[in-house]
Amino acid sequence: MPRVTSILPVLFVLLLASVPSVWAQPAPKLKPITIAQFGHVFLYMPLYVAVRNGYFKEQGLDVKLVSTGGDEKTFTAVVTGNAQFGVSDPTFAAIARERGQGGKVVAGIVRGVPFWVVTFAKDIKKIAEPSGFKGYRIATYTAPSTSYAVMKKILQNSGKQVDARIVQGAFGTLLALLKANQADMALEIEPIVSVANQEGAHIVYCPASVLGDFAFTGLTVSDDFLKKNPDDIQKAVNAITRAMIYIQNNFEGTVSLACSEFKEVSEPVVRQALRRLIAQGTIPRSPVLTENAWNQAIGLRKEIGDLKSAGSFAENVDMRFADKASRAVTGLSTPSVHKK
């Protein structure tokens, strides 16, 4: 008769083999999600942090980013179902609704007006008022971009049109227009502003001082996707919220990530650009978009003729997901924040 002690190890191995182990289970399948973006834009840092730090995957989403080359094209990708989410100028949700295509802004990505007017011309000094642009050529991105809309509003100067000319150029070409003397100054974003600084340019004007709180970039979905996939929306907004908190609390980690994401940009430029964006609140602490910021952006579009309808906050913005994510991660959001 065999000894009991010699049989026990064999029985233990057989028992383990008959019981499914949690470690042997396949990883949960991630849901493929496409996010259409205007382009690979430094300002969208919360999006890239969420991807690179695995925050989307932690939420069960396998995100693919595609660039469309335009705000309007991005929203079109969303309403046609070619992308589940869009990252672009949020006012295109209202513009599209006016044309019979519904959509909602479910989170803010970029806040304020993240533009600075730069020039290489030593004789052009700081411009205190819009009238100071008289006689100059100012380069912006092509219409109907937010860049063009902002400069057009500035030159309208509360009904007193400034005699200046907007020179339109593709994203990434404006500094070349300055160097080729096809424009005197350019309305640029980071990190191009910091690149220009490194090359000898200086800032002469900051539109944020005029326009204040402003809904510049949002995360948008179609009405149909909102109705059918609220859980996926919450997961995406959760991931972006975590990324925003990471950026605020881990500057060095964000610098490292940004350098990997934008390999063509030097580390000193990345540092300067991130500091400016964080200090000005362009990279927000929360994805909650206020009604005031929305109204500022909608007001601009109506003033320059891109929108005729009211473009109301209630009709085009849904902050339920951002509120929930902010309360869970930061504790900063309350329902009343929308009205401030």
Burial 155-189 (b: 16+ CB within 10 A, else e): bebeeeebebebbbbebeebbebbeeeebbbbbbb
> Is 63 a domain residue?
yes
With a CB cutoff of 8 Å and minimum separation 6, the contacts of 245 are: 285, 329, 330
Do residue 230 and residue 151 come from a single domain?
no
173 φ, ψ to 5°?
-110, -5
> Is 14 a domain residue?
no
Confidence of residue 182 (pLDDT cuts 50, 70, 90): very high
Do residue 96 and residue 129 come from a single domain?
no
Question: pLDDT of 45-96, one tens digit each?
Answer: 999 999 999 999 999 999 999 999 888 899 899 999 999 999 999 998 998 8
Do residue 298 and residue 227 come from a single domain?
yes
Please give the DSSP secondary-structure letter assigned to residue 131: G
> Is 105 a domain residue?
yes
Burial 190-220 (b: 16+ CB within 10 A, else e): bbbbbbbbeeebbbbbbbbeebebbbbbbbb
Do residue 221 and residue 320 come from a single domain?
yes
- Residue that finishes a domain, picked among 184, 211, 238: 211
Whole-number pLDDT of residue 21: 41
Do residue 325 and residue 224 come from a single domain?
yes
Whole-number pLDDT of residue 26: 53
Per cent of the chain over pLDDT 70 is 89
Confidence of residue 149 (pLDDT cuts 50, 70, 90): confident
How many Å apart are CA 70 and CA 5, to the nearest integer? 74
Question: pLDDT of 201-245, one tens digit each?
Answer: 999 999 987 778 899 999 999 999 999 999 999 999 999 999 999
- Residue that finishes a domain, picked among 170, 188, 211: 211
Do residue 87 and residue 223 come from a single domain?
yes
> Is 158 a domain residue?
yes
Q: What is the mean pLDDT of residues 267-287?
A: 95
pLDDT of residue 28 exceeding 90? no
Q: Residue 89 to residues 29, 70, 73, 301: CA-CA distances in angstroms?
A: 32, 9, 11, 11
Coil vs helix vs strand at 87: strand
Angle between helices 251-261 and 45-52 (to 10 degrees): 90
> Is 17 a domain residue?
no
> With 0-12 CB in 10 A as exposed, 13-18 as middle and 19+ as buried, what is 148?
middle
Whole-number pLDDT of residue 318: 97
> Is 24 a domain residue?
no
Do residue 227 and residue 89 come from a single domain?
yes
Strand pairing of 61-67 and 31-37? parallel
Coil vs helix vs strand at 257: helix
Confidence of residue 16 (pLDDT cuts 50, 70, 90): very low
- Residue that finishes a domain, picked among 149, 177, 211: 211
Q: What's the number of domains the chain is made of?
A: 2
Do residue 302 and residue 271 come from a single domain?
yes
Whole-number pLDDT of residue 18: 45
Q: Which amino acid is at 183?
A: A
> Is 13 a domain residue?
no
Q: What CATH number is attached to the domain comprising 174?
A: 3.40.190.10
Question: pLDDT of 103-134, one tens digit each?
Answer: 999 999 999 889 999 999 999 999 999 999 99
pLDDT of residue 172 exceeding 50? yes
Do residue 139 and residue 240 come from a single domain?
no
Confidence of residue 246 (pLDDT cuts 50, 70, 90): very high
pTM recorded for the entire structure: 0.83
Closest CA to 330 of 233, 246, 231, 216: 246
- Residue 140 near residue 166, CB atoms below 8 Å: yes
Q: Residue 121 sits in which domain range?
A: 116-211
Do residue 122 and residue 201 come from a single domain?
yes
Do residue 217 and residue 321 come from a single domain?
yes
Whole-number pLDDT of residue 314: 95
213 φ, ψ to 5°?
-60, 135
Do residue 227 and residue 102 come from a single domain?
yes
Exposure on the CB side of residue 231, measured as CA atoms within 13 A: 4
Per cent of the chain over pLDDT 90 is 72
